[in-house]
Structure 1
Amino acid sequence: MKHSEPSSELRNVARAAAQWLALMESGTACEHDRVHLQQWRDSNSAHESAWQKAQLLRQRFHKLPTALAMATLDRPDPGRRALLKQALCVAAVVPTAWLVTRQLPLDVWRADLQTATGEHTRVPLADGSMLQLNTASAVNVDMNARLLTLVRGEMALKVAGSAPLTIEVPYGRVTLSRSEVCLRLEAGDCRVSVISGTAQLQPLQGAALLLHEGQRVSLGVTGAGALSQFDRLQPGWREQVLMAQNQPLGDFLRELSRYRAGLLRWEPALEQLRVTGSFQLGNTDRILTLLAATLPLQVQTRTRYWVTLVPRNRQA
């Protein structure tokens, strides 16, 4: 389902209302905060309208995961909300304060399902299919149209039945049934990997093609790139594992940084050191400790969110 793009002013008002709601529900709001909230509501009718809408939706979705409830803040269609409630079964609740204070593009902020940096989630769909979201990812789900839209990041979808499901990305569509695929959306393309079964690709430009198990291709603005092979049995993010086989440390750290909040830096002298191993993504600090134990580098931590790697016996 497509949505018209609201103005930047409406976007800011909706975000402000959500942030106020998060503060009021956090248990840390003081009388000063309450006074300022009332002043904000009184200053503009659009502010009051957004606040009332946020309150209404929060009450209506008090039994649903907060990520789903707040994602509908600027989606007034009650049919879509009912569809989401019926179609999805999400085990974990995402805290409101985390969701609504994310500084994200509007399409990500509005997405039906989201993960934070370092978070991984599994979402059973109503037809028995299984959706997985990797770190910092966002997906819209419309089971009525049997359509998922990857808005940001990386997802895996395993379709249980013969009824096809379609995944839409900015560069085309991927349709599958009784198959499993991974899609990773980058700035200029989308990497599509078939883990099992087959997948039909329809690029925005160029001819359709059929991908088979173990094949991978990138979709871009000019169509599909060259086919390549990958080891579909190798553990990956779906098992919360980061693999490296004689990989340059710089490349490894760039991938690792996707799973860490804050700033991870390293000196250029470390860029070409080689890494081999299987690393559990549940604790990225431990990964850095293991790197320091096996490579000539040391970890300097200024805060939890500011970490620098330097050659051993050197200062940042």
Structure 2
Amino acid sequence: MRSAPSPEAREAARAAARWLTLMESDGAAFDSAALQRWRDSSAHHEAAWQKALRLRQRFAGVPASLGMATLDRPALARREVLKRALGVAALVPTAWLLGRELPLETWRADLHTATGEQRRWSLVDGSVLQLNTDSAVDLDLKARRLVLVRGEMALKLAGSTPLSVQSPYGLVTISGGEVCVYLGERDCRVSVVSGSAQLHPLRGPLLGLEAGQQVNFQASGAGPVRAFDVAQLGWRDGVLVAQDQPLGHFLRELDRYRPGVLRWDESLESLRVTGSFRLDNTDRILALLAASLPLDVHMRTRYWVTLTLRKNIA
């Protein structure tokens, strides 16, 4: 049986797929030096890139029958068919790579969202489920259980019958109110907006949580319980909120809502950002940052964006 890839390998596979797509689409504008720096920064990165190149080579050839079928078409039609064929040739290895390295359960999940998408569902008992960007959940309502496969969810319980959220690190049982659960690469974060919840790690003692409390937990147990600002959960209203936040932290959060590659100079990390930003237009968020902070946005395509420190103009 093929063993499950590590979180580092899955993340490297996603990045390699993005680099491959950008290389095929951008041509001469492709930043090969940036790709090389990414490859050199981690053995996982280099291994994922080599796999991507092998797949690209495997799928590179356009079938001869397709090429022959275009010979008797007008020139414009021939160009359009070949353009589509080459596009498919570029996308097939990317999709195959992601399918191999990302958990199959993500694609089979009962409910899911794409990158940058938030959705809301009413469950049969009247409870309301919201999924944040790039998230997936399986439903087992007969057992009063949801399985968080990927990403982030908010659940507002209807009535007093408990409902549980299963994660790879343990079970969260909601007794009432609203709870948000975020599944990271190495742990899970539970935030109790209202009501109460009980945390059952795979190992370690049971932990009760009340409204306004938040905790991160792994299979071995929970970390310290802490208070949190409900504004951190602004995604439920389609808003990303920052209060005197380091720009690097803000951009890493924003990157979750954008397809493609978002990069920035290290010199921007320590700048501070404050504001409420609508998530339905992340290009506008970047424009607002450029208007209020000393940075420039370089957008080769919507899927390739670099932020640099603005140089002083004498």
TM over 0.5: yes
Change (3 A) 1:204 1:294: same
- Whether contact under 8 Å (1:102, 1:109) holds in the other structure is no
Question: Which of residues 148, 151, 154 in structure 2 aligns to 1:153?
Answer: 151
2:253 partner letter: E
2:193 partner letter: I
SS in 2 for 1:197: strand
**Partner residue of 2:195?**
197
SS in 2 for 1:177: strand
Change (3 A) 1:230 1:291: same
**Partner residue of 2:121?**
123
Cα distance, 1:7 vs structure 2: 9.7
Alignment deviations for residues 52-88 of structure 1 (CA, whole Å, 9 cap, x no partner)? xxxxxxxxxxxxxxxxxxxxxxxxxxxxxxxxxxxxx
SS in 1 for 2:114: coil
Structure 1: distance between partners of 2:112 and 2:273: 31
Change (3 A) 1:296 1:110: same
**Partner residue of 1:135?**
133
Structure 1 residue runs without a partner (length 5+): 9-31, 37-98
Structure 2: distance between partners of 1:233 and 1:267: 27
Question: Which of residues 250, 257, 260 in structure 2 aligns to 1:259?
Answer: 257
1:182 partner letter: C
**Partner residue of 2:15?**
none
Structure 1: distance between partners of 2:148 and 2:173: 13
- Whether contact under 8 Å (1:161, 1:177) holds in the other structure is no
- How many residue pairs match? The answer is 224
2:111 partner letter: L
**Partner residue of 2:24?**
none
Larger helix percent:
2
C-alpha RMSD of the superposition: 2.4
Structure 2: distance between partners of 1:100 and 1:145: 34
Percent identity reads: 61
Alignment deviations for residues 154-175 of structure 1 (CA, whole Å, 9 cap, x no partner)? 0000111111111001111111
1:290 partner letter: L
**Partner residue of 1:46?**
none
Cα distance, 1:178 vs structure 2: 2.5
Structure 2: distance between partners of 1:251 and 1:6: 35
- Whether contact under 8 Å (2:231, 2:241) holds in the other structure is no
Cα distance, 1:269 vs structure 2: 1.1
- Whether contact under 8 Å (2:109, 2:149) holds in the other structure is yes
Alignment deviations for residues 125-177 of structure 1 (CA, whole Å, 9 cap, x no partner)? 00000000000001000111111000100000011111111100111111113
Change (3 A) 1:293 1:111: same
- Whether contact under 8 Å (2:164, 2:174) holds in the other structure is yes
Structure 2 residue runs without a partner (length 5+): 5-61, 67-94
- Whether contact under 8 Å (1:193, 1:214) holds in the other structure is yes
The 5-angstrom pairing of residues 1-316 of structure 1 reads 103=99, 104-232=102-230, 236-313=234-311
2:138 partner letter: N
SS in 2 for 1:179: strand
Structure 2: distance between partners of 1:106 and 1:234: 30
Cα distance, 1:101 vs structure 2: 11
Cα distance, 1:102 vs structure 2: 6.9
Cα distance, 1:233 vs structure 2: 5.9
Structure 2: distance between partners of 1:142 and 1:234: 28
1:261 partner letter: P
Higher relative contact order (CA 8 A, sep 6+): 2
- Whether contact under 8 Å (2:176, 2:197) holds in the other structure is no
TM-score in terms of structure 2 length: 0.67
1:176 partner letter: I
